[in-house]
């Protein structure tokens, strides 16, 4: 039986991220499709109770079968006023359904914001399909990390755990002599 459910893969990737989030992290999650909505009214501390609540919400997410507008979602994420004024680390989980978004415009938006904000991308689908290439490109221009979600990969959980842990490590993004 061929399994091709981007929403389930995306939810599983997000659950792996949540299970490895550091307790001092302040976070929120933007779910996007035709429209976007935040899972929490404001950023929340990654306490055990808060993470459990968000995990239950994520497990209940259902597809609305609409096209995703990634550009609009990225703009919302960059414009989001978090409770702290620290740079944002955006975990972008995406599939190949980018028909309402221009990938070049999205990558340019990520690049323009990469001086202050990092993008870590998880492509759900096969790495030889366009979502894999887009996730790799988003992580490259966003100064972050990339993982292709493949449930057959025996190292997937460890790779995502490492990605989440590395995301919070400061990096030099603009160095001149």
Q: Is 1 a domain residue?
A: no
User: Looking at residue 127, what is its pLDDT?
Assistant: 53
Q: Is 21 a domain residue?
A: yes
Average pLDDT over residues 93-101: 73
User: Looking at residue 2, what is its pLDDT?
Assistant: 39
Q: Is 12 a domain residue?
A: yes
Total tally of structural domains belonging to the chain: 1
CATH of the domain at 93: 3.40.50.410
Is the pLDDT score of 93 beyond 60? yes
Q: Is 177 a domain residue?
A: no
pLDDT in tens, 135-168: 878 888 888 888 888 888 888 899 898 888 888 7
pLDDT in tens, 21-79: 988 888 899 988 777 888 888 888 899 999 999 999 999 988 765 667 888 889 999 88
Token pair listed for 4: 């091709």
Q: Which neighbouring-strand residues pair with 118?
A: 89
Q: Is 46 a domain residue?
A: yes
């Amino acid at each position: 039986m061929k399994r091709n459910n981007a929403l389930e893969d995306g939810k599983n990737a997000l659950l792996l991220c949540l299970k490895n989030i550091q307790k001092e992290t302040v976070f929120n999650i933007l779910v996007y499709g035709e429209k976007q909505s935040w899972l929490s009214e404001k950023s929340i501390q990654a306490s055990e109770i808060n993470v459990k609540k968000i995990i239950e919400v994520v497990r209940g997410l259902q597809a609305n079968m609409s096209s995703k507008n990634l550009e609009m979602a990225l703009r919302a994420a960059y414009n989001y006023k978090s409770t702290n004024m620290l740079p944002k680390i955006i975990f972008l989980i995406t599939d190949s359904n980018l028909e309402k978004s221009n990938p070049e415009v999205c990558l340019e938006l990520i690049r323009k914001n990469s001086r202050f904000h990092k993008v870590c991308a998880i492509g759900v689908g096969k790495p030889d399909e366009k979502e894999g290439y887009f996730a790799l490109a988003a992580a490259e221009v966003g100064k972050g990390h990339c993982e292709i979600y493949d449930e057959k990969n025996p190292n997937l959980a460890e790779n995502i755990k490492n990605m989440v842990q590395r995301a919070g490590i400061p990096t030099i993004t603009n160095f001149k002599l």
